[in-house]
Chain A
Amino acid sequence: MAEKKITLDQVRHVAMLSRLALDEPKLAKLAGQLESILGYVAKISEADVTGVEPMAHALPVCNVFRDDVVEPSLPIEKVLQNAPDTDGPFFKVPKVIGGDEDSAG
């Protein structure tokens, strides 16, 4: 794992998954940096984790419930106050369906 080479194609793929539209020079720079960082963190592969349960939570708490009662929500104008674009009580976005790729997929 430690000697793994990170290719430009892989970085491009991860940028797509990350929803980051990065230009080629940035991707190239990231390839080197990711390789060095991922090479370092691969150290965890050396630890003996046989029979160890993953620590999914910091605390031994689970199923924290509150009473099932309706409480006031934020008023709609506060919900929308930071939106880049709105239309009445809605967030406004460009066309969602019909781009080059099926965005809904």
Chain B
Amino acid sequence: MLAYDTLLAARDAIRNKKTSSVELTRQALDRIDRLESQIQAFNSVYPERALERAKAVDEGKIAGELAGVPIAIKDNLCTSYGTTTCSSKMLADFRAPYDATVVKKLESAGAVVVGKTNLDEFAMGSSTENSAFKTTRNPWDTSRVPGGSSGGSAAALAAGMCCGSIGSDTGGSIRQPAALCGIVGLKPTYGRVSRYGLVAFASSLDQIGPFGHDVPDVALLMNVISGRDPKDSTSVDTPVPDYLAQLDQPLADLRLGIVKEYQLTAGLDPQVKSAFDAAVQTYRNLGARIVEVSLPHTEYGIAAYYVIAPCEASSNLARYDGVHYGHRTREPVRDIIELFSKSRAEGFGEEVQRRIMIGTYALSSGYYDAYYLRALKVRALIKRDFDRAFEQCDVILCPTSPTAAFKAGEKTGDPLQMYLCDVFTVTCNIAAIAGLSLPCGFTAGPQPLPIGLQLLGRAFGEEKLLRIARMYEKATDWHRRRPKLL
């Protein structure tokens, strides 16, 4: 592991001159060198640029909340340096002309970006196996997946290749890999973080968020990346609190909701269930009142999601035409339609093509009302369910993923089985609320796998959500465990 592996400890050690940014950045780069062949977390690494920035921090030329700390970012965030590939052949050589707002904010706060991490192509997947370039492995057991789509960012942090990382979450793509890799991940409320420079997948669901080894690290990253951005008209003006200020103050009169309908979930692993029950008991011991809430439209969540997300994707991905940027076919073409069609068939991988097809079908004439319009109505019902539930509780507790990390290749043959992994995560995006996953236990056996606890909170209720998560974290030590890697 890194000498200081939490973001806050690393930041403070650099500030207090116990270490230097160059020293810590070099350590991170060394670990990437040593472990990358096993973990396959990075699409690109920027040692020279990182060390140059680290040196500038050490010389006092760059300061800020994250000064000198090595971090990794998901490769669907635009950077004016290197490539932004989305793990797609379509964008294999794409050099973004600008930095995403989040990247700009992180670097203005002094963060040192060591590299850009692997993902399911265009963030479509739950295992990072849909990457056109490599299959990222879970640091706890390299025969297993890290989750997805932000699997590279989660695995890089869990493997100690950086002190914090950034992902994006459209239906669980931060929270599920956080759970499977034994770290903390937050999907902020839609509108909390600017999406400018995030390559679009499903624009009404996408949101950027942080990974950390513990809740304070996630809070610190949220302090840096949150806020309104004139370049993203869906980012909201709501004031950004200092998420660290009250973090260690426990909340009194806490009411935590457990969802009636989730207890019937098929495919919920018994070990995940018992870790979850134990976590609920921990909160009870901390004085929280547990109330049962109902989300009556739970059973429609995945169905609505797998209409809305592909519809928006089919529209967003129409821009890849082999003309303005991205892959262009080398085969002879008769006309421009053939140029589009051949370029897209060659440039997009199977899952992306499948989702474009589903979305195009559902939006096509004669089917729009039955699929897309109806899904949007179901979306309204799901949001109403959450509004009502939050009248009875401060946050909702549930497992993040129905199982711990599964074996690589186990679900690649059946897309629908892969979609069903998202049962506990998609409704958070559908309702546009905030969700966090943190470690709450491990499976039994010679190679224990992390289990994640999910907390769902009101829109723009991140401050409370983080404080409630912190209460659990302080009462347990799951978040201190690290995988045994060479």
Question: Which residues of A approach B to under 8 Å, CB–CB?
Answer: 1, 10-11, 14-22, 30, 33-34, 36-38, 40-47, 49, 52-59, 61, 64, 66, 74, 78-79, 81-85, 91, 93-96, 98-101, 103
Q: Judging by beta carbons under 8 Å apart, are B337 and A49 in contact?
A: no
Contact of B340 among A10, A14, A19, A22 (CB under 8 A): A19
Mark interface residues in B259-273 (1 if CB within 8 Å of A CB, else 0). 000000000000000
Q: List 13 A-B contacts (CB under 8 A).
A: A19-B321, A36-B415, A43-B300, A44-B303, A45-B374, A47-B300, A49-B381, A52-B377, A54-B373, A79-B97, A84-B326, A91-B323, A95-B336
Residues of A within 8 A of B358 (CB): 34, 37-38, 41
- On whether the beta carbons of A56 and B432 are closer than 8 Å, the reply is no
Q: For residue B98, which residues in chain A have a CB less than 8 angstroms away from its CB?
A: 74
CB–CB B380/A52 < 8 A: yes
**Range of interface residues on B (Cβ < 8 Å):** 35 or more
Query: CA separation between A16 and B98, bound complex, in Å?
Result: 33
Contacts of A57 in B (CB 8 A): 204
A83 touches B378 (CB 8 A): no
CB of B175 within 8 Å of the partner chain: no
Pairs A-B, 9 closest by C-beta atoms: A99-B335, A82-B325, A54-B376, A84-B328, A58-B432, A21-B341, A64-B233, A55-B380, A49-B377
Contact of A101 among B191, B318, B337 (CB under 8 A): B337
Smallest CB–CB gap between A10 and chain B, Å? 8
Chain A residues contacting B94 (CB-CB under 8 Å) are 82
B451 within 8 A of A: no
Q: How far is the CB of A59 from chain B (nearest CB, A)?
A: 5
- Known contacts A36-B416, A84-B322, A59 near B333 by CB under 8 Å: no
Q: Whole-angstrom distance between the alpha carbons of A42 and B304 in the complex?
A: 9
- Closest Cβ–Cβ distance, residue B423 to chain A (whole Å): 12
Assuming the contacts A43-B299, A59-B234, asked whether A33 and B344 have C-beta atoms less than 8 A apart, the reply is no
Q: How far is the CB of A53 from chain B (nearest CB, A)?
A: 6
B378 in contact with A49 (CB, 8 Å): yes
Bound Cα distance from A38 to B371, whole angstroms: 9
Q: Is A74 in contact with B97, judged by CB distance below 8 angstroms?
A: yes
Contact B323 A18 (CB under 8 A): no
Contact with A along B343-386 (1 / 0, CB 8 A): 01100100001101110111010000011011111111101000
